[in-house]
Chains A and B, each alone.
Chain A
């Protein structure tokens, strides 16, 4: 039987009877790791005062302020909703006096090639709906912005934290944008921003509640300052961004599928003593390559690991001071020794770890 192409957006917007929720369309959630269950970088990072990816996969913390935070994968979740984890931001150094350019944003970026079915930039552009569970010590107005990086366009809407330190479910719908097509490639095209702090540069205009050319002053009008006290915490989970004007039930993916989706942006390789398959090119030149677990978004440009990983001599003894990135493609990565000696050219080699612990090599440079 021939397979036919599924028009996900039309199924959501046009084919379902009004008022019904399309709760069984697979992969309808544009967000990856919306349930915060995958945290390959670790469950907690303290003293965060710069941009980057910390804790839960795919979620980028961006800040320009004096605030310092601890970011963690937390177990505080809305009761009875099926979630096991949330993303937590704990303000450890406050910034109560906002500078004009100050801001804190939690964001996720999406490849344009993943979003062609949104038909953005055409007369058939579909609406998008974001839904999430949120809890914050700081009540008041918060902004959620969609940013089209390819065309420098923005739409932003607000929600309100009504009760301090209480889980609340929020839904926001954005109209489709008939201007500006998304590039059909593996680069960041669309980005979702959860604003947590915004100085006057981002708040002095009129909130861009309809798609418009990006104006900085219109991006976060009304946003409260989460970082005005070290008593403040912010949790979020169950984030879903989907085509259509209605929020469906959160799409829980099997853990292995969720991990596979994250690995495209942060490939990881587990090693243990006697992980073999390498070759010695010289006494001080060991090489080993690994097939990446899924095709990465782009070729890794580095590696990172905790603990000790060293090359092995043919007698099983470890040598050198570490391992390092050499080269990579989207499918394989080559790793070299650092400081190894007494390897024998032509012999097989492998990797060993401290106390035979299982260690994980994170392949960096693939995130958006």
Chain B
């Protein structure tokens, strides 16, 4: 299902930085929470959906 909101993914073994994920405008996208684009999205007052199981 498409959602413009980013959703946190559960951390995998050895991962030290969270990753967010979404399917939007027909594209599947994911990025580190350290990515400039994601930080700009947060600065607009947005918050990500929690990871599954949290």
Known A-B contacts A304-B28, A305-B28, A365-B37; the reply to A325 vs B19 at CB < 8 A is yes
Residues in A with CB closer than 8 Å to B21 are: 322, 324, 338
Residues in B with CB closer than 8 Å to A322 are: 21, 23, 28
User: In the bound complex, how far is the Cα of B13 from the Cα of A336, in angstroms?
Assistant: 10
Q: Does B32 lie at the interface of the complex (its beta carbon under 8 Å from any beta carbon of A)?
A: yes
Known A-B contacts A302-B30, A305-B27, A306-B27; the reply to A326 vs B35 at CB < 8 A is no
Majority-rule SS of A interface residues:
strand
- Contact of B31 with A364 in the complex, beta carbons under 8 Å: yes
User: In the bound complex, how far is the Cα of B35 from the Cα of A324, in angstroms?
Assistant: 14
- Contact of A326 with B19 in the complex, beta carbons under 8 Å: yes
- Contact of B27 with A281 in the complex, beta carbons under 8 Å: no
Q: Does A327 lie at the interface of the complex (its beta carbon under 8 Å from any beta carbon of B)?
A: yes
- Give B25-43 interface residues, CB cut-off 8 Å to A: 26-32, 34-38
The minimal Cβ–Cβ distance linking A311 to chain B, given in whole angstroms, is 12
User: In the bound complex, how far is the Cα of B27 from the Cα of A309, in angstroms?
Assistant: 11
- Contact of A302 with B28 in the complex, beta carbons under 8 Å: no
Total number of residue pairs linking A and B with CB closer than 8 Å? 66
Quick one: CB contact mask for A222-244 with B, threshold 8 Å, 1 for yes? 00000000000000000000000
| Chain A residue nearest to B35 in the complex (CB) | A301
Q: Does B3 lie at the interface of the complex (its beta carbon under 8 Å from any beta carbon of A)?
A: no
- Give A265-309 interface residues, CB cut-off 8 Å to B: 281-282, 285, 287, 301-306, 309
- Contact of B27 with A302 in the complex, beta carbons under 8 Å: no
User: In the bound complex, how far is the Cα of B31 from the Cα of A324, in angstroms?
Assistant: 8
- Contact of B30 with A324 in the complex, beta carbons under 8 Å: yes
* Residues of B that sit less than 8 Å from A by CB: 9, 12-13, 15, 17, 19, 21, 23, 26-32, 34-38
Most chain B beta-carbon contacts within 10 A, residue among A285, A301, A323, A338: A301
- Contact of A285 with B35 in the complex, beta carbons under 8 Å: no
User: In the bound complex, how far is the Cα of B28 from the Cα of A213, in angstroms?
Assistant: 42
User: In the bound complex, how far is the Cα of B26 from the Cα of A306, in angstroms?
Assistant: 6
Show 19 residue pairs from A and B whose CB-CB distance is below 8 angstroms, ordered by the A residue. A287-B12, A301-B35, A301-B37, A302-B30, A303-B31, A304-B29, A305-B28, A306-B26, A324-B9, A324-B30, A325-B19, A326-B15, A338-B21, A338-B30, A364-B31, A364-B35, A365-B31, A365-B32, A365-B35
User: In the bound complex, how far is the Cα of B30 from the Cα of A309, in angstroms?
Assistant: 13
Residues in A with CB closer than 8 Å to B17 are: 327
- Give A337-368 interface residues, CB cut-off 8 Å to B: 338, 364-365
The minimal Cβ–Cβ distance linking A361 to chain B, given in whole angstroms, is 10
The 8 closest A-B pairs by CB, nearest first: A302-B31, A301-B35, A324-B30, A325-B30, A304-B29, A301-B32, A322-B28, A304-B27
The minimal Cβ–Cβ distance linking A54 to chain B, given in whole angstroms, is 11
User: In the bound complex, how far is the Cα of B34 from the Cα of A324, in angstroms?
Assistant: 15
- Contact of B35 with A302 in the complex, beta carbons under 8 Å: yes
Residues in A with CB closer than 8 Å to B37 are: 301-302, 364-365
The minimal Cβ–Cβ distance linking B14 to chain A, given in whole angstroms, is 8
The minimal Cβ–Cβ distance linking A47 to chain B, given in whole angstroms, is 9
Quick one: CB contact mask for A148-174 with B, threshold 8 Å, 1 for yes? 000000000000000000000000000
Q: Add 10 more A-B contacts to A281-B12, A303-B30, A326-B19 (CB < 8 A).
A: A285-B12, A302-B29, A302-B31, A302-B35, A302-B38, A323-B28, A324-B30, A325-B32, A364-B35, A365-B37
- Contact of B12 with A325 in the complex, beta carbons under 8 Å: no
Residues in B with CB closer than 8 Å to A287 are: 12
Residues in B with CB closer than 8 Å to A327 are: 15, 17
Residues in A with CB closer than 8 Å to B35 are: 301-302, 364-365
